[in-house]
Structure 1
Amino acid sequence: MKFRVLILINAGAVAVTMAAVNYYFQRNMYDMAITFAATLVTSFIVFYYLIEKYIYSKIILIYKLIHNLKLGRDLRDALGEHTSADPINDVEKEVKEWARQKKTEIDALKTQEKFRRDFLSNISHEFKTPLFAIQGYIEAVQDDDLEDKVMARQFLDKASKNVDRLSYLIKDLDEISKLESGELPINYTKFKINDLIKEVMDGLELKAKQHNIKLSFKQKYDEPTMVTADRDKITQVLVNLLDNSFKYGKEDGTTSVTLFDLHDTVLIEVTDDGIGIEEKYLPRLFERFFRTDASRSRQIGGSGLGLAIVKHIIEAHQQTINVRSTEGLGSTFGFTLQKIKQGLPFVALPILKS
């Protein structure tokens, strides 16, 4: 409702009341009309002055403050001062909208704070485990004064393995930090995804045999499929997913890579027949340091950042990654890549930063 209309209604109510009182005592229609008109004008002027001075001006100030804060100083100066025809209603809308935004921001900050605490706790634990192990092995060798050379060699080898684990952890942390900040660019090239999959599987064949796992490559069509992506980073994605399937696969099991040629994209799936993952853990699987079975995961090794890195690389390509799993039956990780249609020129996709 407009400001002046609101004042007029209040003034009219007072004028009607005064006119009715006048008619009750005087019983004169002319006096009643004069009283009504005089009271209406007087009330309108008084109400307008009082509301304008003590209420309306304050509301205008609040509205401009909220409006300018939302726009920002630079944008406000570019647009000029904004004056609303109905600031009372606008203030109500602005305040409600601002309250919703602030609640969303507060919820996001709480979530980020919880993530920060969990992350610091996880990284502290991940660093302490190998550091304490290294410290223990070195102290044992120092106490023995190298008298038992066989034991000393064994302890130094174990200390060396923990140093390697720390190196992997620091390297993965540095990489995921650069991926999040956009410091690691995506260098798009065109290549045959079929050939890359075979190349990665050949390179991991010995490791698969060490885990007694058979590798299998399936594709819907035998023709080579051209994609546009960062070949080195997609190699890292495949290595991480295959290595993950070795760690959690079953003895004498199978890990298969399946290629699906879709309309504009290619879907690559890595499937194992291992222990699987409980459904409640699936939404958190790509979080840093998240482990479904912490004790077994640390015995297996790894930095706990492999799947988080995989997710960041795929999302940096503006593509999607998903997982489906059944406990006791196995897991399937699938991701998409942009396909190049035969006969069309190659155009590198732009890199978008959030």
Structure 2
Amino acid sequence: MSLSPRFIAVILALLISLITTSFLAFVDGVSKGMLFVTAISSVVTSFFLTLYTIDVLVFREVNKMYRTIHKLKMRDFNMTPRKKLIQESNPMRTINDEIFVYVTKKQKEIDELKKLELFRREFLADVSHEFKTPIFAAQGFIHTLLDGAMEDENVRERFLRKAAKNLDSLDVLVKDLLVLSQMETGDIKMNTAPMDIRLLTHNIFSRLENIAHSREVTLKVKPEDMPEVWVLADMDRIEQVMLNLIENAIKYGKEGGKVVVQFTETKKYIDVAVRDNGPGIPHEHLNRIFERFYRVDKSRSKDIGGTGLGLAIVKHILNAHHTKIAVMSKPDKGTTFSFKLEKAFVHHALENQTEEALPEQHP
């Protein structure tokens, strides 16, 4: 039951009147009329005095405190139960609810900051490790040459090639970090234009043909009855996306398996899916595979190569295209990465413009 100022004032007024008339009843010479008048006057006077005291000196001041807390909180948060809290008639209960919700929100912020701090520490540790490996390897080869192995021509060439390979890996890592940093800060803008993503996929298949052949992986594009698939996108960035997804599917999929890139046309979008029939990704890793340097199988990833930044870059590129990448995976069934891009309806017009721009042929 909500204890309003009026209710409290009535209860206290009745109690005061009851106590006063009870004492007067034991005084000699006091008539019933006098007791009645005393009771009524006592009730009325006590009611207004108590109401004023409680409402003005207590409830109103407490409500001011509540409004101050509420203003502070409204500037910081979007509170869903705000309307309910404002309409609460008991300010003590309101303040209690407000403090509880406020502290809950702050605790969530603290937990989020702790997660970010943990992520920062993990990221610094991963970056240090990723840089240390190629630098130490190249350093070891070069110091070995400087210590006397340079005289042997065969050893010199072999060690220099290994040092160069490690430095090339370091260069790729730095470039990927730079691209990722620019994507996160918004320094890289997407130059969207009509592009044939099916043709792009076939070109990537040609580039990865040797890797696919070494693992006996079959590459397919579906459906076969779509000769062209036009989308609005940044061709260079989408090439990064498709190259990373297809290469990962070949490397981490099943040896002797297949990789399928499937396009599905809807009214406004083209759904793109890259699917393999490999061992799949364990469920506990699915939420983290787009983090920088996160590897599902660290030992195998080191053998295969890569910077561990590919999927993080893919995620940011697609976010910049106002779309998201999704992943579905089942153990021993394979993994599917999917996203959608806006359809391009202007390629026929572009072809017509190209034909009109060509000079006329005269016999």
**Structures share fold, TM-score greater than 0.5:** yes
Tell me whether 244-253 or 263-272 shows the greater mean CA deviation.
244-253
Q: Which amino acid aligns with 1:255?
A: V
1:288 to 287, 292, 303: 292
Is 1:16–1:36's contact at 8 Å kept on the other side of the alignment? no
2:270 to 243, 247, 266: 266
Cα distance, 1:137 vs. partner?
A: 1.7
Check if 1:111 corresponds to 2:109: no
2:248 to 232, 238, 244: 244
Where do 5+ consecutive residues of structure 1 fail to align? 74-82, 347-354
Question: RMSD of aligned C-alpha atoms?
Answer: 3.2
Alignment match, 1:17: 15
1:127 to 121, 131, 136: 131
Is 2:276–2:336's contact at 8 Å kept on the other side of the alignment? yes
Question: For residues 254 and 11 of structure 1, what CA distance do their matches in structure 2 show?
Answer: 82
- Residues 45 and 23 (structure 1), Cα distance of their counterparts in 2 relative to 1, 3 Å cut: closer
Alignment match, 2:212: 208
- Residues 18 and 291 (structure 1), Cα distance of their counterparts in 2 relative to 1, 3 Å cut: same
- Residues 17 and 165 (structure 1), Cα distance of their counterparts in 2 relative to 1, 3 Å cut: same
Secondary structure of the structure 2 residue equivalent to 1:319: coil
Is 1:18–1:36's contact at 8 Å kept on the other side of the alignment? no
Check if 1:254 corresponds to 2:252: no
Check if 1:189 corresponds to 2:193: yes
Alignment match, 1:66: 69
Question: For residues 185 and 87 of structure 1, what CA distance do their matches in structure 2 show?
Answer: 54
Question: For residues 106 and 349 of structure 2, what CA distance do their matches in structure 1 show?
Answer: 47
- Describe the superposition over 1:268-318 as per-residue Cα deviations: whole angstroms up to 9, x where unpaired: 222223343223222222121111110110121111010111111112212
Where do 5+ consecutive residues of structure 2 fail to align? 27-31, 77-85, 351-363
> How many residues are paired up?
334
Cα distance, 1:94 vs. partner?
A: 3.6
Q: Which amino acid aligns with 2:8?
A: N
- Residues 155 and 30 (structure 1), Cα distance of their counterparts in 2 relative to 1, 3 Å cut: farther
Question: For residues 277 and 245 of structure 2, what CA distance do their matches in structure 1 show?
Answer: 14
Q: Percent identity between the aligned chains?
A: 36
Question: For residues 63 and 305 of structure 1, what CA distance do their matches in structure 2 show?
Answer: 49
Alignment match, 2:156: 152
* TM-score, normalised relative to structure 1: 0.82
- Residues 141 and 280 (structure 1), Cα distance of their counterparts in 2 relative to 1, 3 Å cut: same
Is 1:226–1:341's contact at 8 Å kept on the other side of the alignment? yes
Check if 1:140 corresponds to 2:138: no
Is 2:282–2:330's contact at 8 Å kept on the other side of the alignment? yes
- Residues 117 and 44 (structure 1), Cα distance of their counterparts in 2 relative to 1, 3 Å cut: farther
Question: For residues 31 and 344 of structure 1, what CA distance do their matches in structure 2 show?
Answer: 102
Question: For residues 107 and 18 of structure 2, what CA distance do their matches in structure 1 show?
Answer: 51
Question: For residues 47 and 174 of structure 1, what CA distance do their matches in structure 2 show?
Answer: 69
Q: Which amino acid aligns with 1:240?
A: N
Question: For residues 33 and 293 of structure 2, what CA distance do their matches in structure 1 show?
Answer: 87
Secondary structure of the structure 1 residue equivalent to 2:316: helix
Alignment match, 1:31: 35
Q: Which amino acid aligns with 1:16?
A: L
Is 2:271–2:338's contact at 8 Å kept on the other side of the alignment? yes
1:339 to 312, 322, 343: 343
Tell me whether 161-170 or 195-204 shows the greater mean CA deviation.
195-204
* TM-score, normalised relative to structure 2: 0.80
Question: For residues 313 and 240 of structure 1, what CA distance do their matches in structure 2 show?
Answer: 12
Cα distance, 1:56 vs. partner?
A: 4.4
Is 1:220–1:259's contact at 8 Å kept on the other side of the alignment? no
Is 1:253–1:274's contact at 8 Å kept on the other side of the alignment? yes
Alignment match, 1:321: 325
Is 1:122–1:289's contact at 8 Å kept on the other side of the alignment? yes
1:178 to 167, 182, 205: 182
Question: For residues 118 and 30 of structure 1, what CA distance do their matches in structure 2 show?
Answer: 85
